[in-house]
Amino acid sequence: MKVLVIGGGGREHALVWKIAQSPMVGKVFCAPGNPGTAELAENVDIAVDDLPGLLAFAKDQGIGLTVVGPELPLSMGLVDLFEEHGLKVFGARKNAAIIEASKAFSKDLMQKYNVPTAAYGVFTEVEPAVSFIDQTGIPIVIKADGLAAGKGVIIAQSREEAVAAVTDMLSGNAFGAAGSRVVVEEFLKGEEASFLAFTDGVRIIPLASAQDHKAVFDGDLGPNTGGMGAYSPAPVVTADIHEKAMAEVMRRTVDGMAAEGRPYRGVLYAGLMTDGGQVKTLEFNARFGDPECQPLLMRMKSDIVPILLAVAAGDLSGVEIEWHDKAAVCVVLAAGG
């Protein structure tokens, strides 16, 4: 079988590395790929947002499975397009990928279906947002509603910083259309963890625990990035926390999405805050986290391809995942911003 992986980051290199080990796979392509994927797969010079180009390539090559790495093509409807043409594809459909593409949608969903999360408000104008900031207190979290490549979150440590962040986003200066609505929410204390699970829209199979580190400098200093490193397992995710994350976050969210007519099929990533044995949800992503994907796939003992095919077919019954006991760590080497 031929497999096409879409994306060009470290996450896609890990996916290509893992998929290429499967006895089911004859050839792997990666679009656009990177120098790492070039050693394991054939890189294809097609951008992740060139949906017609990707579709034409998949049909022309007789691709048996397409695996989508980044959020952008998911939010553009790549999965819907491929499925319309009878192609097998792993990833969330457009109407489900909104759980990441709109932070306001995901917060409203959590509130409606009783998924634990921080108190929040959604604003399109500066004045009501500032009133909410004054009511809630400092520190406070300001988030651009739309996709901002993992960088649309500001933890304001002063009222001035909070007001500036809101004004900057709503004026369209900071993140363009992604910031035309903002979510302002209470700051949660505790330790973060990344909780990922495969789901077919009904069944949920969790991955091993992981934790990423977002601050750009050592010692948790500097602005947040998409992630400077990650490791698995995450000691903070105890058996009790795991159970709560599955029951209170994953189960309620998957059921809620189905009830909304947006069945979620793919990998669902919950960014969690744990504090005193309690779990609250910071955000959802509609894809494998990067860098978390890298240590997670290093630890996955099972062949990933039957799992991806089962999700694409909408039937995870009978699927189990085996993990290596050893820990894995990923360190990101990044050019200065």
pLDDT grade, residue 337 (50/70/90)?
low
pLDDT above 80 for 175: no
214 with 168, same domain: the answer is: no
CATH of the domain at 251: 3.30.470.20
* Nearest residue to 197 via CA among 285, 283, 278: 285
| 102 part of a folded domain | no
Domain boundary among 186, 205, 240: 186
Neighbours of 51 (CB within 10 A): 17
Domain boundary among 186, 208, 234: 186
| 31 part of a folded domain | yes
Query: 63: domain range?
Result: 2-90
pLDDT above 80 for 110: yes
| 170 part of a folded domain | yes
Q: How far is the C-alpha of 3 from the C-alpha of 66, rounded, in Å?
A: 6
Domain boundary among 90, 105, 129: 90
pLDDT above 80 for 185: yes
What pLDDT, on a 0 to 100 scale, did the predictor assign at position 213?
85
| 284 part of a folded domain | yes
**Domain total for the chain?**
3
| Lowest pLDDT segment from 146-150, 169-173, 195-199 | 146-150
Q: How far is the C-alpha of 149 from the C-alpha of 292, rounded, in Å?
A: 15
288 with 320, same domain: the answer is: yes
CATH of the domain at 38: 3.40.50.20
241 with 269, same domain: the answer is: yes
pLDDT above 80 for 178: no
Averaged pLDDT for residues 169-186:
84
pLDDT grade, residue 148 (50/70/90)?
confident
84 with 163, same domain: the answer is: no
pLDDT above 90 for 50: yes
**Contact in structure between 207 and 293 (CB atoms under 8 Å):** no
| 309 part of a folded domain | yes
Q: What rounded mean pLDDT belongs to the chain?
A: 95
133 with 235, same domain: the answer is: no
Structure tokens at 249: 């976050």
Instruction: Encode pLDDT of 189-223 as tens digits.
Output: 999 999 999 999 999 999 999 999 888 888 877 87
pLDDT above 90 for 104: yes
Instruction: Encode pLDDT of 220-274 as tens digits.
Output: 778 777 789 999 999 999 999 999 999 999 999 999 999 999 999 999 999 999 9
199 with 323, same domain: the answer is: yes
153 with 196, same domain: the answer is: no
Residue 113 φ/ψ, nearest 5 degrees: -105, 20
DSSP per-residue letters across 273-330: EEETTEEEEEEEESS--TTTHHHHHHHB-S-HHHHHHHHHHT--TT----B-SS-EEE
pLDDT grade, residue 125 (50/70/90)?
very high
| 8 part of a folded domain | yes
pLDDT above 90 for 53: yes
Q: Are strands 2-7 and 65-68 parallel, antiparallel or unpaired?
A: parallel
pLDDT grade, residue 42 (50/70/90)?
very high
210 with 322, same domain: the answer is: yes
CATH of the domain at 146: 3.30.1490.20
Q: How far is the C-alpha of 224 from the C-alpha of 215, rounded, in Å?
A: 4
Rg from Cα positions in the chain = 19
164 with 198, same domain: the answer is: no
| 76 part of a folded domain | yes
Bond into 128 cis (ω within 30): no
Averaged pLDDT for residues 23-31:
99
| 106 part of a folded domain | no
Q: Three-state SS for 103?
A: helix
